[in-house]
Amino acid sequence: MSALPSFSEFTVAHQRHFDHRDPLRWLWSHVWPYWYVAVVMVVGAVGNAALAAVVPVYTGRAFDLVLSHPPELQSGLLSLAAFIAASQVVRGVLQLGRNFGAELIGQRLERDIRDELYLSLLGKSMTFHSLQPVGDTMARAINDVREVNLMFSPGVNLVVGSANFLLMPLLLAPRYHPALMLTPALFIVSYAFALRQYLHELAPITDEVRAAFGTLNTRLTEALDGVETVKGASREEGEIALFERYARRFRNVFVRQGDVEARFVPLLLMGIAEAGGLLHALILFRQGALQVGDVVAYFGLLQLFGFPTFVSLFAYSQVSSGLAGARRILELIARQNNLDQNTAGYAAPLRGAVEFRHVSFAYPDGERVLEDISFSVQPGQTVAIVGQTGSGKTTLTRLINRTYDVADGQVLVDGVDVRDWQLEALREQISFIEQDIFLFSRSIAENIAFGRRDASREEIISAAKAAQAHEFILSFEKGYDTVIGERGVTLSGGQRQRLALARAFLTRPAILVLDDSTSAIDSATEDKIQRAIAAAAQGRTTFLITHRLSQIRWADLILVLRRGRLVAQGTHEDLLRLSPAYRRIFR
């Protein structure tokens, strides 16, 4: 069985491998570890159908017994009734086993697929996550995975159970007359053809239903993420109209699915089979080939077709929806990833030397963001990166820890190409502090210690003090145990950035990247943080993306970017003399 895509930024030890060649093989590779539960389900389904056939067979015998008026009539009827009752008790136990087995497989399947999908998403590169809509990913991770569960229970559960009901009339008809096999045989063949046509029509519609739900969820996620912008521009009505358009599309494809289900032919075939089978049995009765009890029993067996016919309307629709969900999940898991964790790669304590050799970069299907960038940084130096918005400053720093891979050229850390480093060893020694700080819905202490789970409370407090965050943290009632809101919305911008600085200080990285990290901090606090950053920069390589001249001045090396090209590099004094572009920025 094939594993996850061969390139992955993250995997876990002892992870089970699954077959990703197609959705059916993938689902089977998930079900196979629970084969013993599947056996219980199948045995329960076969036993349930067989004992369901006991009722019409012994009812027919009871009719013949009553009509023959034997002396032991009463005791005979009691024996038949007792046998039927006992068989149905056993049938109930077997049916419980079938339902329990299907439900257990469905729940375990949902759990395992969620785990696999979550690990796969963590292993995808930022290039993947930049292009994949969050709302659609959430729809696949929640709703589509749930559809796979429902595909097994009740979907496959009812399919397996009802398939055995189809066979019983065919298998038991010869005990009354061989010719009576004709009607069950014709029904099964016509049922199979009608079902094939039904699934053929249904499959593309269920795919479209799942896709429409993903699009709808994407629109909802965007609206909620941008709710402040929507309200600020008073665009509520416009957003409602846009959402209604996507909701209408989702409704329309659901109506199309209902239209296909309404034209379910096997319901008509069942009526014809029961009428034709009864007529056939009555003709044989007139010819003396059957007794009354045989006709009753045979007609009762034909009525077993009712269960597979009625449930197939729902069960196969559920199976089709589950397969559509499986296709969408597998497509996400198997989508090619351009980065790998390189577990056998170079791993060593990082000194902090960085070199770019003729580096170019472009996002997939996009223009080049960086073009022929070359520079060298010694361990412990501070580098300021300046340039207009969109010149590629942030992208350049993201090449250092392989958030993205270069299109051409090389990025070397300590003289080793970053593609030859073990990804975890490289990234755990590089810290980023961005302008848009992400904080988790956890305690302040947990957010600060996110990069170092083993950090003591004393170390966390020391890092917070260095980032000038200790004082405002203590202003909260629960201090470091205060749980902040999603994305840190209960904190101001300056408070979020100071917590991010504390997080970076705690990890003690060899390379520190500050992406306009003091943009939301007032002047008084900035002055304190500048001293903290200056102290933190001692002995480590620091990259500053900033427009603040107070930070640019004391950099050992300044890189000037313009439209993705490195137009100048040097010290502050050198660039003031030699670079018109830098002088314009400085002014």
* Alpha helical stretches, state H, 140-181: 145-150, 157-172
The separation between CA 169 and the C-alpha centre of its own chain, rounded to angstroms, equals 44
Q: pLDDT tens-digit profile of 282-292?
A: 999 998 888 88
232-291 tens-digit pLDDT: 777 778 778 888 888 888 889 888 888 887 777 888 888 899 999 999 999 999 988 888
* Greater model confidence, 371 or 8: 371
Peptide bond into 154 cis (omega under 30): yes
Residue type, 112: D
In sign, the C-alpha dihedral spanning 229, 235, 237, 239 is negative
Looking at residue 7, what is its pLDDT?
53
The predicted structure's pLDDT at residue 119? 84
Give CA–CA dist 235/50, Å, rounded. 63
Q: What pLDDT, in 10s, does the model give residues 396-417?
A: 998 998 888 888 999 999 999 9
pTM of the model: 0.72
- Which domains, ranges and CATH numbers included, belong to the chain? 23-334 (1.20.1560.10), 354-586 (3.40.50.300)
What gap in Å lies between CA 426 and CA 12, rounded to an integer?
A: 18
Dihedral class, residue 508 (left if φ above 0, else alpha if ψ from -120 to 50, else beta): left
% of the chain with per-residue pLDDT over 90: 17
Tokens representing 388? 């207009």
Q: Say how far apart CA 313 and CA 552 lie, in whole Å.
A: 70
- pLDDT top residue among 338 and 408: 408
